[in-house]
Structure 1
Amino acid sequence: MAVKAQKMNADVSLVLEDFIPYRLSVLSNRISARIAELYQAEFDLSVTEWRIIAVLGHFHALSANEVAARTAMDKVTVSRTVARLLERKLLKRRIDPVDRRKSVLDLSASGARMHARVAPLALQLEARLLSGFNAREHETLEALFDKLEVGLESLP
């Protein structure tokens, strides 16, 4: 049986250009890199800095672990990025009144102003990225993303 499995695996070839996880990763990296250039030039922000600002601008008052979960960034990256944003006074940190072992992050007044400046550009960039889609294609893309999320839940 092991010989049959080995032979079967030898006959299977992975064509990266057709492998959906690879394609999504490369496309995401290319989009992020392009957007990063604009955020850096316009606002002196990295993509990771903007992601944290965007998440806190939407959800408010999150722990660093919650930020990591909502951005799908690793905790070390979040920690380093939060430190830079705190140093730039774009974030504020306070002790959670319910659990004094936990700190809570939120946008400072200047962070909120930064969010208000960057969000319209982010929406414009998204609109330009999707400008080749009609309304139905856009809806289909959203539905496909939802299906990929469900599919992700079925992975070990």
Structure 2
Amino acid sequence: MSDVLRLDAFLPFRLSFTSNLVSDTIAGIYVALFDLRIPEWRLIAVVAEEEASPLGGATQQEIGRRTRMDKVTVSRAAIAMVERGLMARVAHPDDKRSHLLHLTDAGRDLYAQVAPKALELERRIFARFDAAELAAFTATLRKIDAAILAEEQAG
């Protein structure tokens, strides 16, 4: 690594650039096909995963933690999903100050349409890489996540 900052060679920038490139591509497809923005899709995906949990849904705080989206973004996406009839809010059985988000039947139907498209798009984007490259890339991303989380904890 050099002592001269060149933005294109600066790893945090490279990660952000690539992430934005992928997200923008996906966002365009989700908006065109399903009228979903990325935060809305992330909410649907997390809530769909959490429906198998003992609580059967997810809190907005949990969604923010899992997706690294801020409270305002999560709140706006949740409001939009509830207004569209794709999610419902129910009282949290263990925390009266909190609510759980659940998918409605329409939300589950939408998830069943979007999830295969997401997986198909993932396959197309990463088709140029073999399984070992993808496993190494995923492991590297998880190591970066762990390093950043450790810095936050120390901070």
Fold conserved between structures, TM > 0.5: yes
Aligned counterpart, 2:142:
146
One-letter code aligned to 2:58: L
Aligned counterpart, 2:35:
44
5+ residue gaps, structure 2, are 52-56
Q: Give the drift of 1:122.
A: 0.2
One-letter code aligned to 2:66: R
Aligned counterpart, 2:79:
83
Distance 2:150 2:74 in 1: 27
One-letter code aligned to 1:133: F
Q: Which has the larger radius of gyration?
A: 1
Number of residue pairs matched?
Answer: 146
Aligned counterpart, 1:3:
none
Describe how 1:3-152 pairs up with structure 2 within 5 A. Answer: 12-60=3-51, 61-152=57-148
Sequence identity (%): 40
Q: Give the drift of 1:43.
A: 0.7
Q: Give the drift of 1:18.
A: 1.2
5+ residue gaps, structure 1, are 1-10
Q: For residues 63-107 of structure 1, what are the alpha-carbon distances to aligned partners after superposition, in whole Å with 9 as ceiling and x for unaligned?
A: 111111111100001111110100001001001122222111111
Distance 2:120 2:43 in 1: 19
Q: Give the drift of 1:134.
A: 0.8
Distance 2:109 2:116 in 1: 12
Q: Which moved more, 1:12-21 or 1:82-91?
A: 12-21
One-letter code aligned to 2:121: L
One-letter code aligned to 2:40: E
Could you tell me the TM-score, scaled by structure 1's length? 0.89
